[in-house]
Amino acid sequence: MEFPLELALTYIGAGVLLGLSAVGAAVGVGNIGNSFLQGIARQPEMLPMLRIQMFIVLGLVDAVPMIGVGMGLFILFGNPFTPN
């Protein structure tokens, strides 16, 4: 049985999509945490306001990689490129 090149490239692309979305989320969350701690170190009285803003931005930053994970899993398990 022959394994088509298109199917192999699809799996490689899905793996890259899953990996890069995880790396992007980790870098984004790290930068947000860094900025939050720097802001608290400069002005400790701003803690409640900065905490609320940090959690809102964390939710927005994590939403984009989750869309990428969903697309990658769709390509892996509901592959539209497989022959019938």
pLDDT tens string 34-51: 999 999 999 999 999 999
Is the pTM higher than 0.85? The answer reads no
The ranges assigned to domains in the chain are 24-75
Q: How far apart are CA 27 and CA 15, in angstroms?
A: 19
pLDDT in tens, 67-78: 888 888 888 888
Other beta carbons within 10 Å of 25: 19
CATH fit for domain 24-75, picks 2.40.160.40, 3.40.50.620, 1.20.20.10, 2.40.30.170: 1.20.20.10
Task: Return the structure tokens found at 4.
Answer: 């088509």
Task: Return the structure tokens found at 14.
Answer: 């899905």
Catalytic residues: 62
Q: Calculate what percentage of the chain has a pLDDT beyond 70.
A: 92
**Pick from 20, 24, 26, 25: which is nearest to 72 by CA?**
20
